[in-house]
Amino acid sequence: MSSTQMSKTADVSGETCTLHTDGIPPDTLIKVQRYLERFHLTREKLQEVSERLRKDLIRGLGKHSHHKAPVKMLPTFVRATPDGTEKGDFLALDLGGTNFRVLHVRVMEEQQRVLKMDSQICAIPKEMMQGTGEQLFDHIAACLYDFLLSHNLERETLPLGFTFSFPCEQKEIDKSILIRWTKGFNCSGVEGEDVVKLLKEAIRRRGDYDIGSVAMVNDTVGTMMSCGFRDQSCEIGMIIGTGTNACYMEEMKNVKRVEGEAGRMCINTEWGGFGDDGSLRDIQTEFDVVVDEMSINPGVHTFEKMISGMYLGEIVRLLLVRLTEDGLLFGGRTSKALLTPEAFETKFISEIEEQDNGLENTQKVLSKFGLKWDTVDSCVVRLVCDAISSRSARLCGAALATLANRIRVNRRQERLKTTVGVDGTVYKKHPNFSEELRATVRLLAPKCDITFLVSEDGSGKGAAMVTAVAQRLARQSRLLEESDGETDDEEEEEEEDQ
């Protein structure tokens, strides 16, 4: 390795974060590391974090404790994963940002395939994001009709999977109450209301088409279900992209907020809120605190702000500014671009940490920011990016290990084999993230053998799969009731004969 290069060789034991730091003078390195050591989490600290989350999962599941729990543990009313017998045509509606998608999805039992037949993206004007709920849902209903018309489906009455990526309390598979808007939305008359009902009312107001049964789908659940059709041992879904969240199959007897003790139910953890009660204060750095204070929702989604793509770039930027002000970067001279909040995108971290072209990419990014750099600056910036992305991967790994360990203990298994369906740009695009996350999970969940499966369009195909599984379970329930009815009739006939 040349003196101008640096590559990451993190110790998978989690005890240390050992990096090649060639090209950085020892005195500079010592001073830089004083800042970076705040982001290095030991194995013991990661185990502490995992244990805190374990306790929060239990609080969130409790009938009387969930109201104050930072990790909400929302029941999804998804009561099973795919078994491979699902089939049929479905619509999927994916609303989670300034655009929403409508999809036509076909599930094929014979080939165990989920095919996206057609899809269409519809924009939501900014003023509509701040308008009335009726305007928003009328717009969605109009776009849905346009899609059906253009694909000759307007006379069909297809079941619909509705991915609504905002915090909701789900009451049934087809009833979901919006807790609060996020992501720039603030439509009046929706918070506290059932979004399925609002969608159906908008379609009813039009009167020119209809839809079948509706299944509400969180995007994390969609990720698990889209992977679950390919791998039926998939019982955890995780997203680590712009935001982060996870879901898993919990034993019904532990879901105190829903009646019944038989079987399992998928729980949407909403783990982004972990730490909102101050439980992660000991590992928050001053830079995390600034990111939180400058966000649109201070004090909310503490865990998410430490590890997800919406915030990682800003943490790096703040740290680079501090190092520059302390004379450790760029000759002590910042630039207007570097001083601009949120200008340092998380994608730059992935580019900078590339194994082969990372140093060259680093220099391109620094030039784009109007900074006068030398080779030492480039190496220090790579070191900074590594520290922030490594902490993200390890915290995410600690949280995932918590879920895997819980499933194993719930089922009283000596060893658990399970699959995690995963989606998100941070996991997919960062060159080292997935490797570090998996290493941390192996470290903290040594009795769990975990396979990772990247989701193919969880919010679209996954929504269709949730709907398909709900239909399968309803069909099986009807058959069981009919069978019980026939048995009762036979018993009555026998009694009459006697």
Half-sphere exposure at residue 424, Cβ-oriented, CA atoms within 13 angstroms: 27
Contacts of 25 (CB under 8 A, 6+ apart): 376
Torsion of CA 377, 383, 388, 392, to 10 degrees: 150
Catalytic hit among 183, 256, 428, 429: 183
Tell me the HSE value of 343 on the side-chain side, using a 13 A CA sphere. Answer: 16
User: What's the CA angle centered on 440, arms 55 and 430, to 5 degrees?
Assistant: 115
Contact at 8 Å (CB) between 10 and 27?
Answer: no
Residue type, 466: V
Task: Answer yes or no: are the C-beta atoms of 466 and 225 closer than 8 Å.
Answer: yes
**Edge-to-edge strands, sheet with 99-108:** 113-123, 99-108, 88-95, 160-164, 214-217
- Tokens 């095919």 belong to 115
Both tokens of 436, joined, read 């570090």
> Is 292 a residue of the active site?
no
Report the alpha-carbon distance of residue 488 to residue 100 in Å, rounded.
49
Residue 421: strand, helix, or coil: strand
Contact 413, 229 (CB under 8 A): no
| From 174, 194, 219, 423, active-site residue | 219
168: tokens are 């909701």
CA 447 to chain centre: 24
Which of the 8 DSSP states describes residue 460? Answer: I
Q: 94 an active-site residue?
A: no
365, 359 Cβ separation under 8 angstroms: no
Tokens of 57: 């999962």
Active site residues: 183, 219
